[in-house]
Amino acid sequence: MRIAFVGTGVMGKSMAGHLLKAGHEVVVYTRTKAKAADLLAAGARWAESPAAAAQAADAAISMVGYPHDVEEVWQGFLRTARPGCLLIDMTTSSPSLARKLAVAATARGCLPLDAPVSGGDRGAREATLTIMVGGAAADFEQARPLFEAMGKTISLQGGPGAGQLCKLANQIAIASGMVAMAEALAFARANGLDLDAVLKALSGGGASSWALLNLAPRVLKGDFAPGFYVKHFVKDIGLALEVCRDQQLSLPGLELAAKLYADVVAAGDGDCGTQALAKRYFEVQ
């Protein structure tokens, strides 16, 4: 297949690389061309815009930062994508925007899917991402080979917007898990325990979580490089809270996480990985 891929950041770069390795023709665009240098060296072709990338594509994929970025990229896709082209947004974005774009894409004869992912930089590198999809079942099946090149756990959640809603549920679970991880480490340290030994014990018992297994070791090393940016996680939490307001749903744990992560951003750590929440509790040596 000829695939347009827009957004080659921390995760998108690896995802596009897996599509190349699977034998697809990949045309890339990103705002900073240097971020696509490795992909271009591996055989991807460069396009000057999302619209140019989508010309003659069998599938056009966006993996960008924010809902307004998605809307801008899809404006380009919709100008040039031919009928029958899969249009797939893998950004964590707004469910209402996903539904709006699905209507516009369908009107042009394109096949829209919202397919946000979970698994961070490691999942993207190892092609083990969880991919949560919203859209028509037939379109999902057509896109399945692409998803299987990038991820391991792939599921259709419902119609347009359902993938985004599932991803927001995922982020709600992660938000509470990140607070639990940071507070467990802070408690252990305050009581003079060996943090490596504590982490080994917790990871093997009922308290084990993705955050403990994957991010707590980075915290203990003082590694706050982004596998997933704090600023993007704050965006995701905000999207979830928007849906909660629309549904008149109160989630106190999510609201607490929103306040704590706002403190992380205020401290200047918005470009760090989400594990930087631990820095709010204690300075890692």
State the catalytic residues. Answer: 167
What does the chain look like in DSSP terms, one character per residue?
-EEEEE--STTHHHHHHHHHHTT-EEEEE-SSGGGGHHHHHTT-EE-SSHHHHHTT-SEEEE--SSHHHHHHHHHHHHHHPPTT-EEEE-S---HHHHHHHHHHHHHTT-EEEE--EESHHHHHHHT-EEEEEEE-HHHHHHHHHHHHHHEEEEEEEESTTHHHHHHHHHHHHHHHHHHHHHHHHHHHHHTT--HHHHHHHHHTSTT--HIIIIIHHHHHTT----SSBHHHHHHHHHHHHHHHHHHT---HHHHHHHHHHHHHHHTT-TTSBGGGGGGGT----
